[in-house]
Amino acid sequence: MGFEDAFRGRLAEAVRAAGGPTAIAERSGVPKTTITNWTSGSAEPKIRSLTAVAQACGVSIDWLVGHSDPISGVSESSDSVNDFSFIRRYDVRASAGPGAIVPFDDLNGTSRFVAFRTEWLHRIGVNPGGAEVLIAVGDSMEPTIRDGDLLLIDRSFDRITAEGIYVLVLAERVLVKRIVLRRDGSAILRSDSDHVPDETVPAHEVEELRVEGRVRWFGRTI
């Protein structure tokens, strides 16, 4: 396989694994038709546009041209890029404490994505196209979730359908809370820490809760 064929193959793999041409076009600002022309070989990319697409896919240009492995330790020799979904890590932190919208420090390049095995995501019922990664801030959800933990959010949950840990927005605060449903239709917003009191949401206000997603996984460095 020649260099051009290998490049187009890697680019097509990265675009497919990161959500497809439409999603990459939205993230990168490069038109969908341009991206598909690159993968088909009918057009050659310019470096500025290719850089934007590579960042949106969560891979480096070095990897696209065959000089390095993709992000998060994924190596072609052991795992195909197709085995992984690159979930966007957003520039907002979900507070597990008092609650605040906190911008991330400047993120660049491949650090904007976290790679998860696609098969594992499907096994736990998460559609990769509707998932996001946030960072928890604060200690109110300890010992379950700690300050600095990565949170995998399933954005298909836009309302409370079952008990679990959710990301909510209340009064411009992004919060992580355990939701406990009561028989009268009300809900309790609970922190796992003993020093944070429960909040009760009346039944007639539960539907008004702004639910951003359900936490399906968290991870941390030890």
Q: Judge if 157 and 53 occupy the same domain.
A: no
Summarize pLDDT for 117-132 with one digit per residue, the tens: 888 888 888 888 788 8
Q: Judge if 110 and 170 occupy the same domain.
A: yes
Whether 180 maps to a domain, the answer reads yes
Whether 38 maps to a domain, the answer reads yes
What pLDDT, on a 0 to 100 scale, did the predictor assign at position 220? 74
CATH code, domain with 25: 1.10.260.40
Q: Judge if 186 and 110 occupy the same domain.
A: yes
With 50 as the cut, is the pLDDT of residue 56 above it?
yes
pLDDT average, residue stretch 177-185: 92
What pLDDT, on a 0 to 100 scale, did the predictor assign at position 78? 38
Whether 78 maps to a domain, the answer reads no
Domain extent at residue 53: 3-68
Residue 111: pLDDT band (50, 70, 90) is very low
CATH code, domain with 215: 2.10.109.10
Q: Judge if 128 and 187 occupy the same domain.
A: yes
Residue 112: pLDDT band (50, 70, 90) is low
Q: Name the domain count of the chain.
A: 2
pLDDT average, residue stretch 176-188: 92
Tell me, letter by letter, the H, E, C secondary structure of the chain: CCHHHHHHHHHHHHHHHCCCHHHHHHHHCCCHHHHHHHHHCCCCCCHHHHHHHHHHHCCCHHHHCCCCCCHHHCCCCCCCHHHEEEEEEEEEEEECCCCCCECCCCCCHHHHEEEEEHHHHHHCCCCHHHEEEEEEECCCCCCCCCCCCEEEEECCCCCCCCCEEEEEEECCEEEEEEEEECCCCCEEEECCCCCCCCEEECHHHHCCCEEEEEEEEEECCC
Q: Which has more confidence, 202 or 48?
A: 202
Summarize pLDDT for 76-102 with one digit per residue, the tens: 433 455 577 778 777 666 776 654 444
What pLDDT, on a 0 to 100 scale, did the predictor assign at position 73? 38
Q: Is the pTM of this model over 0.85?
A: no
Whether 73 maps to a domain, the answer reads no
Given 68, 93, 121, the domain boundary residue is 68
Q: Judge if 64 and 88 occupy the same domain.
A: no
Q: Judge if 64 and 90 occupy the same domain.
A: no
Given 38, 68, 98, the domain boundary residue is 68
CB 13 within 8 A of CB 58: no
Taking all residues of the chain, what is their mean pLDDT, rounded to a whole number? 79
Q: Judge if 175 and 125 occupy the same domain.
A: yes
Whether 190 maps to a domain, the answer reads yes
Whether 111 maps to a domain, the answer reads yes
Summarize pLDDT for 97-107 with one digit per residue, the tens: 654 444 333 33
Tokens of 168: 């909510």
